[in-house]
Structure 1
């Protein structure tokens, strides 16, 4: 059986996100989709996996809603589900930031297709800016891209001063799928930057349509795959093993759950430290068993909105 992963977002007003969340959750359960979906007053953001047939039905259902008619799905073929469970949650924003007042559906940076981005990115009057977190760009980023030492996207406004020296240039931003760039470019415009652009569809779409050329390393993704190759033209590895500093794009979570650091660890060091990031974490009494992957996904809690919270509570106890 063939499966797909769908990555998508759409900034659009949702008047009653709680009601929408319940209806959307039921739809995903009916289609046996798994993944993470965020619903907010400002829109919808998600990554889900399912069979090709289920994904087709889901995409049709979402785009049938006029609010999401312009939504674009980034589609990747996979051999099986890339999530263990389904989460559909209501949150204040569809991407956590400190830019609550930004409304990308009213004002945002100019969208560039992958071909347009590729044609512009190396020009002298252009600065390419990565708006993702450090653990993401340390694994992979565009050649010569400017990174902003961000641990979390909410730090972005505090780093914009580093771009002041480039106000006379064209600012080209990028992220995984595009959702962060929408708010980042809206904020830059508010701060007086005039020539602000964003890679439409993000790194994932660039890999699909432009072969990923000049994207060094791998792209971090928020599912069980952890990272994916996007460059089919001139690929390379830029991340280094946290322990021995040899080139490695193998990401793990530290086996010590109290640390849980997300970092590159080569296979040799993974075996040596039993999946931990250090000898101290390897010796921690609560260290999780290491199976060679460095991934510790939670199993489904089988929550069904049709049966209410009581059923959810019982299933949580069982797990």
Structure 2
């Protein structure tokens, strides 16, 4: 039996008083000994949490018992150690940052692309009238993507709406969107429908579920994940490595964050260059005075910012007065 589980999930469901919910939910997660990162918004939840199998089972059962979250599709990975160091649960304006905040225009609770389970996606993806569209960011699809997928030159998902005109040439095709767990596709497919695309689908459960239920067939490379694993294997049928080391060009599946915290760029780097560059993307970053110690993983706990003691003293003085 696995020592720990990591759960990936999202849910578009209206949450009243989201800020209070986030505070209460953080206490609940900590009471179970979970670590992870959860975003709460008025439109729903987006989370990845990690803990013992028992704690994760309690967490899933508790959310499923709430009518708002009864339909959550948890993706469960067995891991040797927790995938996070701390537990965060924060209230934000969206559960995935898209800039599409008008529920009268984009509302995944009312309209999204047709959901395809992994086997349906596998059966459809190579048809002549189909375009497979990756809606993730550059650093994600550079590490791994579906064979022959259309990728977009975007740094963040909030850049996706600006790409609609570029995608207009595919309006007469069936569009099959995909992302890591499915959450980005909910808004991406809704926007495509709003912009006049007629035949839009999405991979339900994303790449992670596809790997578990369809063997990851034809997904080339590894899948970027937003925890300290940084990437996971997906394809057990016909795996290949497509990513290359930024520094030397050698084929490598390893994704890291630059050791310079002021850069923190996601990029692929082989172990040899990782050692030579101290986990940095460039010579400039390698010489940066705040460079973090590279331990070979390329994952770093967020570095606290220095306290502004003068400002703090000023506030304390004002409070005392």
Say yes or no: TM over 0.5. yes
- Determine the structure 2 residue equivalent to 1:267: 271
Partners in 2 of 1:253 and 1:277 — Cα distance?
9
The within-5 A match list for 1:81-120 is 81-101=82-102, 102-120=106-124
The within-5 A match list for 1:142-153 is 142-153=146-157
Partners in 2 of 1:146 and 1:177 — Cα distance?
18
Residue 286 of structure 1: how far off its partner (Å): 2.5
- Determine the structure 2 residue equivalent to 1:253: 257
- Determine the structure 2 residue equivalent to 1:303: none
TM-score (norm 1): 0.92
Residues 163-219 of structure 1 deviation map (CA, whole Å, 9 limit, x = unaligned): 111111100000000000000000011001110000000000000000000000000
In the alignment, is residue 42 of structure 1 matched against residue 43 of structure 2? Answer: yes
- Determine the structure 1 residue equivalent to 2:312: none
Residue 299 of structure 1: how far off its partner (Å): 8.4
- Determine the structure 1 residue equivalent to 2:69: 68
Equivalent of residue 283 in structure 1, options 277, 287, 292: 287
Partner-residue secondary structure (3-state), 1:206: helix
Q: Which runs of 5+ in 1 are unaligned?
A: 301-319
The within-5 A match list for 1:205-220 is 205-220=209-224
Partners in 1 of 2:271 and 2:23 — Cα distance?
42
Equivalent of residue 139 in structure 2, options 132, 135, 139: 135
Residue 222 of structure 1: how far off its partner (Å): 0.3
Equivalent of residue 179 in structure 1, options 175, 178, 183: 183
Residues 28-58 of structure 1 deviation map (CA, whole Å, 9 limit, x = unaligned): 0110111000111101110000000000000
Residue 280 of structure 1: how far off its partner (Å): 2.3
Residue 284 of structure 1: how far off its partner (Å): 2.4
In the alignment, is residue 163 of structure 1 matched against residue 167 of structure 2? Answer: yes
* Paired residues of 1:2 and 1:80 also in contact (CA < 8 A): yes
- Determine the structure 2 residue equivalent to 1:9: 10
Once superposed, what is the RMSD of the aligned Cα atoms? 1.2
* Paired residues of 1:85 and 1:299 also in contact (CA < 8 A): no
- Determine the structure 2 residue equivalent to 1:243: 247
Partner-residue secondary structure (3-state), 2:36: strand
Partner-residue secondary structure (3-state), 1:87: strand
Residue 98 of structure 1: how far off its partner (Å): 1.4
Equivalent of residue 295 in structure 1, options 291, 296, 299: 299
* Paired residues of 1:84 and 1:298 also in contact (CA < 8 A): no
- Determine the structure 1 residue equivalent to 2:307: none
- Determine the structure 2 residue equivalent to 1:190: 194
Partners in 2 of 1:81 and 1:160 — Cα distance?
38
Partners in 2 of 1:176 and 1:268 — Cα distance?
29
Partners in 2 of 1:292 and 1:220 — Cα distance?
17
In the alignment, is residue 226 of structure 1 matched against residue 230 of structure 2? Answer: yes
* Larger displacement relative to structure 2 (221-230 or 276-285): 276-285
